[in-house]
Amino acid sequence: MDKIEKMKTGTTTLGIVCDEGVVLASDKRATMGYLVSSKTTIKVAKLDRNIGMTIAGGVGDAQKLIRWMRSELEVYRLREGEGMTVKGAATLLANVLSNYKFYPFFVQLIVGGYDSKPELYSLDMAGGVTKDDYISTGSGSPFVYGLLETGYDKKMSLKDCLKLAAKCIIAASKRDIASGNGITMATITKDGFKYLTAEEIEKIGKEVSKK
């Protein structure tokens, strides 16, 4: 049990779906017990041109899965001449997690992307997969879900989804000691995966804070 506790890390990540695409977001803090080990951790990863993932849990486990998924998706694209679907990528990752469930990767993951339409999946460390319109993981997720429940609308624009995501990460950072030190955000639309710049995130944060 002590080993499991040491490998746990706090964080806040989320994914939101709208008609235009998917928004993935997270804070930047990484912790080791009561120590803030990093203030610039990127927890939103690009897996393929149209697929991304957020990570919560053990950093080493998450990094290994990111490398593995990028490799598998690239091989699939080269072999098939087209990219894997979002559902296919989520299922592939779920199978990996399930195969290792007796010696698990200590992670909570969100996989999102855009095929003919945007899709979002939550994956637990045993390989369980859940599809939803919005998902949050990590120690800050209890603070996020209240805002998502009241603020989300299926007809929201991508811009409004970005504002809601920023609002959620800011709220969690104020209450969860393991979350903070800024925001990382990315969008996945029919044009592909795109990280928001620091200037774009700062502008959204200021708009949200005024309300």
Residues assigned a catalytic role? 11
Q: How many CB atoms lie within 10 A of CB 129?
A: 18
**Helix, strand, or coil here: 110?**
strand
* Tokens 């469930």 found at: 101
Residue 153 tokens, joined: 């609308």
Strands 21-27 and 134-137: unpaired
Task: Give CA–CA dist 79/96, Å, rounded.
Answer: 20
Task: Give CA–CA dist 200/144, Å, rounded.
Answer: 21
